[in-house]
Structure 1
């Protein structure tokens, strides 16, 4: 079991966070954004940044080359739709995408938006960790979390139309 601190400050113990989220055992702090047969998208539960989306596989695997053909098609389709919705309803101009294979979670892609306030930490990939920590430590307020919930609702509505 792993202990994970959520953005709301709660600590949960789970074998696999992705399994818990994609199976519905644990609800993400701010609801599911969209779901397909093979993937589940939610606001990241640890870092309260508006529009930061985690796209996770429902099946437990960790690498691109382990995807079935159906999963590959679904992945690129849903990833593209989420990005379009981020741009259309949240005005997010740039996104950093991350995926790593040495994780204990399922295959997942982080879609980290770039906002103007983030540039104080730099403009390269090296700035992402300080941005995430700043969000977790300094932006975890009731008001900010409400803005995130509103953004999720906007994304959900837009994705439902697509």
Structure 2
């Protein structure tokens, strides 16, 4: 079991956070934004940044090459649909995508939007970790969370209509 700190300050103990979220054991803040047979999209539970979406496989696998052909097709279609909604609904111009295989969770992709305030930390991939930590520590007030939830509602409507 691992202890994971959520963006709302609560901690949970789970073996695999992605399994706990995709199975419904843990409800991420804002709930499910979009879901298909193979994937589950939700706000990242650790970092309160509007439009920061995690796209997780429902099946517990570790790497991209373990995806079935059906999952591969679903993955790219869902990723594209979410990105389009981020741009059209939230005005997000740039997104960093992260996927790593040495995670303690299972297969998932981070879709990290870039906002103007983030450039104070730099413009490279190296700036992302400080941005995430800053958001967790300094952009976690009630007004910030309401902004994240409002963005999630807008994304959910755009993705499910």
Do both share a fold (TM > 0.5)? yes
| Displacement after TM superposition at 1:160 (Å) | 1.1
Distance in 2 (alpha carbons) for counterparts of 1:2 and 1:30: 23
Query: C-alpha deviations, 1:11-69, integer Å up to 9, x for none?
Result: 10001100100000110022111000000000000000000000000000011100000
Q: Map 1:80-99 to 2 at 5 A.
A: 80-99=80-99
- What pairs up with 1:54-73 in 2 under 5 angstroms? 54-73=54-73
8 Å contact kept, 2:29–2:45: yes
TM-score by length of 2: 0.99
Question: Could you state the TM-score of these two structures normalised by the residue count of structure 1?
Answer: 0.98
**What are structure 2's unaligned runs of at least 5 residues?**
none
Partner of 1:140: 140
Provide the rounded CA distance (Å) in 2 between the counterparts of 1:104 and 1:11: 16
Structure 1 ranges of 4+ moved more than 4 A? none
Alpha-carbon RMSD across the aligned residues, in angstroms, is 0.5
Structure 1: which 5+ residue stretches go unaligned?
A: none
Aligned counterparts of 1:129 and 1:26: Cα–Cα separation in 2: 24
What is the total number of aligned residue pairs between the two structures?
Answer: 161
Distance 1:136 1:2 in 2: 19
